[in-house]
Amino acid sequence: MGHNFMKRNAFWTAHPGHHLLQGPAHCFRGRSMKEALNHAEAALGRQLWVVGTNRTIARSRFSTDKSIDQWYEVEVVPHAADIQTKPTETLAHDHLKTVHKAVSDLEDSGGDPLRLWDVPACLNTPYQYLIRSGVEVVYAERIARHAAACHKPRDLSDDSSAWQAMIDAVADGISVAHRAPIEDGEKRVILVVGPTGAGKTTSLAKMAAHLQLTSEKRVGLISCDMFRIAAVEQLDTYARIMNMPFAAADSAQIVADHVAEIDADWILIDTPGRGPLDDNHLDILRELVDVLNPDEVHLVLPIESAGRWARLTAEKFAVVRPDRLIVTKIDETDRHGGLINLLADLKLPFSYMSTGQNVPQDFYPADPDQIASIIMG
């Protein structure tokens, strides 16, 4: 069977001599390239030439959801004994199982045997920019494919249109958390959680300032970070500056009592920071969530935590049922692709972005277009 296998780039192409083949080509589909090849072998026998591959994906976002519908296609021509080839274009006669093994190795390693060969070349520069900005290759590819799927080639005639197409594709995949307006007499509880050093206390103060400035509702603050006295003093200082009621508590029940007593529409609660491997701390937070049943639980992570540590943190903090993500320290890096990695890996919508220490200037609600502009420079 003729094939061309490139380990570094991990994609499949037809052999350069395939134009010499005689007879009609046949197309077979499968949920994986291996399955498509199996169908071809079952229908036409083991002596086949691969002359092309394709993949179709029903995806509008760059989520890793396995329920997304995708098909692999392989185009083959049955082997003919009388095919003549030039010495410099001799086709290999490897058995079909060799190709099966190659495809299997690609799939096991997480490689995509198709890559970006079917994406317009004009998108390559912004695609490479995403890679340099820190976006994982698999997510950058999905963004590029989405940009290609949403535009006709003639619409991507110059660099500016190609860049705008990629910016739009990034924005299309940004999921943000929405908040329903608060009704009169309603009291909502917001819990902020995360590991040590993520910026929880500052983020909570910024959120409080933002809520106070953008609505006519009253805001109250509670700190239960009794392990770090400076955190209590810091939040108390913010509360006095912003003229907000403040309380401190060292147990879930006392926090609940303060929630009931504080005269405010929004109650924002700061929690102690611990590493994701501190099971005792997570048990305390889980008890707090069970007692309060908060309306929102914001997980706070710095942008540079994207990757294995962020996934581990989200996995461990899942016991407190976070439903949205605050990303901090965006101003401390020039590689903002981590935003996409966080979104795709953690599957939590963004709630706020934090770009500095100033309260409340460097803190704003997540917006897909604004985040796309940050990522794409």
Residue 198 has pLDDT above 80, yes or no: yes
Burial code (b: 16+ CB inside 10 Å, e: under 16) for 94-121 equals: eebeebbebbeebeeeebbbbbbeebbe
Indicate whether 375 belongs to any domain: no
Q: Which two tokens stand for residue 171?
A: 């924005």
pLDDT at 105: 56
Query: Among 53, 41, 47, which residue's Cα sits nearest to residue 4?
Result: 53
Q: Answer with the residue of higher pLDDT: 113 or 33.
A: 33
Does residue 77 share a domain with residue 137?
Answer: no
Placement of tokens 């494919």 in the chain: 145
325 class by beta-carbon count within 10 Å (0-12 exposed, 13-18 middle, 19+ buried): buried
Beta-carbon count within 10 A of 343 CB: 25
Does residue 356 share a domain with residue 273?
Answer: yes
pLDDT at 106: 52
pLDDT at 257: 95
What do you get for the CA distance between the two ends of the chain, in Å? 46
Residue 32 has pLDDT above 50, yes or no: yes
Element (H, E) at 308: helix 308-317
Placement of tokens 């997570």 in the chain: 282
Region 139-149: mean pLDDT is: 88
% of the chain at pLDDT higher than 90? 43
When pLDDT is cut at 50, 70 and 90, the band that residue 93 belongs to is: very low
Cis status of the peptide bond prior to 360, with omega within 30 of 0: yes
Per residue in 2-30, pLDDT (tens digit) is 333 222 222 223 333 333 344 567 888 88
Domain that holds residue 136: 121-172
Please state, in angstroms and rounded to a whole number, the distance separating the CA atoms of residues 304 and 311.
12
When pLDDT is cut at 50, 70 and 90, the band that residue 88 belongs to is: very low
Indicate whether 149 belongs to any domain: yes
Region 119-138: mean pLDDT is: 90
Residue 372 has pLDDT above 80, yes or no: yes
Q: Answer with the residue of higher pLDDT: 37 or 59.
A: 37
Indicate whether 116 belongs to any domain: no
Please give the mean pLDDT across all residues of the chain.
Answer: 79
pLDDT at 79: 61
Residue 270 in contact with residue 192, Cβ under 8 Å?
Answer: yes
Region 24-42: mean pLDDT is: 80
Per residue in 248-305, pLDDT (tens digit) is 998 899 999 999 999 999 999 999 887 778 888 889 899 999 999 999 999 999 998 8
Q: For the whole model, what pTM was predicted?
A: 0.69
Q: Which two tokens stand for residue 93?
A: 């006669």
108, 137, 160: which is the final residue of a domain? 108
68, 84, 108: which is the final residue of a domain? 108
Burial code (b: 16+ CB inside 10 Å, e: under 16) for 30-43 equals: bebbbbbbbbbbee
Put the strands of the sheet holding 70-78 in their side by side order. 26-30, 70-78, 48-57
Per residue in 306-363, pLDDT (tens digit) is 788 888 999 999 999 999 999 999 999 989 999 999 999 999 999 999 988 776 678 9
Residue type, 19: H
CATH code for the domain in which residue 194 is found: 3.40.50.300
Q: Which two tokens stand for residue 80?
A: 């003919």
Please state, in angstroms and rounded to a whole number, the distance separating the CA atoms of residues 343 and 195.
18
Does residue 161 share a domain with residue 90?
Answer: no
Per the structure, the count of domains in the chain is 3
Does residue 278 share a domain with residue 234?
Answer: yes
Placement of tokens 């943190």 in the chain: 313
Does residue 300 share a domain with residue 321?
Answer: yes
Residue 95 has pLDDT above 80, yes or no: no
